[in-house]
Amino acid sequence: MASENLPSDVEKSSGPVAEEHEGKHLKNAAVNTVLTSSAPERKLVWRQDKRIVPLSAGIYFLCYLDRSNIGNAKVLNSSTKNDMQSETGASDYQFNVALMIFLIGYFLFEVPSNILLKKLRPSRWLAFLMFSWGVITIGMGGIKNYGQMTGVRFLLGAFEAGLFPGLVYYLTFWYKTDERSVRVAFILASATLAGAFGGAIAYGVGHMNRTRDLSAWRWLFMLEGIPSCLSGILVWFFLPDWPESAHWLSESEKDLAAQRLYHEGAKGSAASITREDVKATLTDWRLYGHYAIYFAVSLPFSSLSLFSPTIVSGLGYHDLEAQLLTVPPWAVAYVAQILVSWSADHFNARGYHCAGAAVVGAAAFLASAVLPGDDYKGRYACLVIGTAGAFACIPPMLGWLTSNMWSTASIGLAVALNVSIGAGLGQIPGVWIYKASEAKRGYPTGHGVNCAMLFVVAIGAIGLRYYYGRKNRALLNAASDGIAPRLYKL
């Protein structure tokens, strides 16, 4: 088994050589562990972090801000009927349809976008997406009716679709498996910052109501779309594509980067996806367990993203005060995501951490669903805890998936499918669970559904953890003496 030849589909014309070990061959091969951490390696990772993580987090911050600001616009200056819903004449049902249409576009364009990211280079493709959705967000400020709202939201979903799965895929070109979850967390946590800043920004912009005869919600879209357009230019020139082409790395650092990712990363010059890659990934049935739990967590993700201002409004707070009080839940969630993700990678226990965070979130939503409608303080505390638990289980979930994929093509497709099924299809039910008719009762349906979905996440994560543990025991029993097989991450 140790002597089996492992195929290479990558040979770089310049810089270090890195081989692509494809799925079935690698699964049956016993390979040596990657380089142990050393001072040069730690220095390299730190250099990568400074270049990649802040810029990637900033990109997703703007993406999430432009996606979720419709929730703020819905209730901004509603007491004077200058909110988005009143001025477009959309009913509650129509407004939810407009939210859902975004997710249809999101679902349809996930997989094609990840394929294009690999073909066209991350910096080029992500910059194009950013500029496009920035223009579309500005356009939201000019809509007049429900039809225009749905059309523009569909376009926004189509252009934002490739961003998050693209960034998760992009990290696999730079980081080993035990380094990814916490970096995914820093990127995803920027969404919680966007939720916090979104409320604060809406609070400030709300004071611009009727400036130049425009309602504040129109200013909100226009002002928040401009940074995405400008940042697209920044990404085009400053986001590095692959380690082997990074001009700011020395030749020795490029060589070390290639060695680090010899077995555990995607390769920038790997062959494009083939029909065989697609078939192998689609018939790898264990992946559907990952897709299922990501589907489940996407309901609280989408519902909280879109309805936090509405939920807070139902707690006795109104207008600008409600916008401001959406900030604490997102701020707490930011810290929780970072801590849980670091611990999950450090202890190689992604399944347990995912399940634990989900249980905490589920318990909070359950409490919120059964508390009296007028227990505002108790239900606000539950919102803070529930948001933290729901969001904290997502980065380990994504790091877990990419850590157990062993070829460039399969990583890109699996991540795109995971986010497409989860963030696309999975978020659609989240649009409907917080019913306007239940505001006085404290939205028991929305909280109850989120509770149930997080318990599904916990059960699914424990099931996957048991499956991988059993597979690892089988690999160890079948390995030759003195040879360490490559094991699944837990």
Instruction: Render the burial of 50-70: b for 16+ CB within 10 Å, e for the rest.
Output: ebbbebbbbbbbbbbbbbbbb
Q: Is residue 259 part of a domain?
A: no
The answer as to whether 253 is a domain residue is: no
Domain that holds residue 79: 51-242+285-478
Instruction: Return d(Cα 361, Cα 453) in angstroms, integer.
Output: 10
Question: Considering only CA atoms, which of 4, 33, 16, 450 is closest in space to residue 251?
Answer: 16
| pLDDT number for residue 269 | 55
- Indicate whether 20 belongs to any domain: no
d(CA 336, CA 184): 13
- DSSP state letters, 393-459: THHHHHHHHHHT--SHHHHHHHHHHHHIIIIIIITTGGGTSS-GGGGGGT-HHHHHHHHHHHHHHHH
Instruction: Give the C-alpha separation, 31 to 105, whole Å.
Output: 42
Let me know if residue 272 belongs to a domain: no
Residue 15 within any structural domain of the chain: no
Buried b (16+ CB within 10 A) or exposed e, 445-473: ebbbbbbebbbbbbebbbebbeebeeebe
pLDDT of 410 reads 82
Q: Which residues contact 427 (CB under 8 A, 6 or more apart)?
A: 103, 106, 298, 299, 301, 302
- Is there a domain that residue 40 lies in? no
CA atoms within 13 A of residue 117's CA, in its CB half-sphere: 37
CATH number of the domain that residue 232 is part of: 1.20.1250.20
CB atoms near residue 237 (< 10 Å): 8
pLDDT in tens, the chain (490 residues): 333 333 333 333 333 333 333 333 333 333 333 344 688 899 999 999 999 999 999 999 999 899 888 988 988 888 889 999 999 999 989 998 998 999 899 888 988 898 888 888 999 999 999 999 999 999 999 999 999 999 999 999 999 998 988 998 899 889 988 888 889 889 988 888 887 788 888 889 999 998 999 999 999 999 999 999 999 999 999 999 999 889 999 999 999 988 888 777 666 656 566 788 888 889 999 999 999 999 999 999 989 887 887 888 777 776 667 777 888 888 899 899 999 999 999 999 999 999 999 999 999 999 999 988 788 889 899 999 999 999 999 999 998 998 898 777 688 888 889 988 877 788 889 889 998 888 888 899 999 999 999 999 999 999 999 999 999 999 999 888 778 788 899 9
Length of the chain in terms of residues written: 490
The rounded distance, in Å, linking the Cα atoms of 182 and 175 is: 11
Is 36 part of a structural domain of the chain? no
The count of structural domains within the chain is 1
pLDDT at 265: 63
CA atoms of 474 and 325, how far apart (whole Å): 51
Q: Which residues pair with 214 in a beta bridge?
A: 211
What is the C-alpha separation between 36 and 95, in angstroms, rounded? Answer: 53
At 267 the pLDDT is: 64
- pTM of the model as a whole: 0.80
At residue 302, the pLDDT reads: 87
Question: Could you write out the DSSP letters of every residue in 78-89?
Answer: GGGT-SHHHHHT
Does residue 194 fall inside a structural domain? yes
